[in-house]
Amino acid sequence: MIDLNAPEQQREIRVFVSSTFVDMQWERDYLMKVAFTRICKLARERGVEFTEVDLRWGVTREQAEQGRVIEICLNEIERCRPYFIGILGHRYGWAPTAADYHKHEAILRTFPWVRQDLEQGPRITEKE
């Protein structure tokens, strides 16, 4: 998937980590502190930058209050494509309302499939 002949700035693997924040702390911390540390070292030895995206630290209170959580989340997933790790457990996650999506019509323009899912009301973890 990574072209080893690509210019340096294009030699990056971005991995999005998705789970509910409350019940997967240990698993997410293990990925960040142990597994990803090892992967990062191996990638750098091969001239590839490894970046993990964990939105536990990536969304500010101000952005959340502005209703931008969905937009930020979906944009980051798109930037990480095709590398995505979904961790599912006991909890199922926050369920945004149609109003949450309509606050930022750009979400519906950028991700047209979201409009189709609005009637079903899936949780944000399912959307990811």
In the chain, the percentage of residues whose pLDDT exceeds 70 is 75
pLDDT of residue 1: 54
Whether residue 49 contacts residue 43, with contact meaning beta carbons closer than 8 Å, is answered with yes
pLDDT of residue 76: 92
Both tokens of 105, joined, read 């019509």
In the chain, the percentage of residues whose pLDDT exceeds 90 is 32
pTM: 0.69
Is the backbone peptide bond immediately before 82 cis, with ω within 30 degrees of 0? yes
pLDDT at 80 over 90: yes
pLDDT at 7 over 60: no
pLDDT of residue 91: 66
CA 6 vs. chain centroid, Å, equals: 25
pLDDT at 122 over 70: no
Residue 52 backbone dihedrals phi, psi, to 5 degrees? -95, 140
Q: How confident is the model at residue 100 (pLDDT cuts 50, 70, 90)?
A: confident
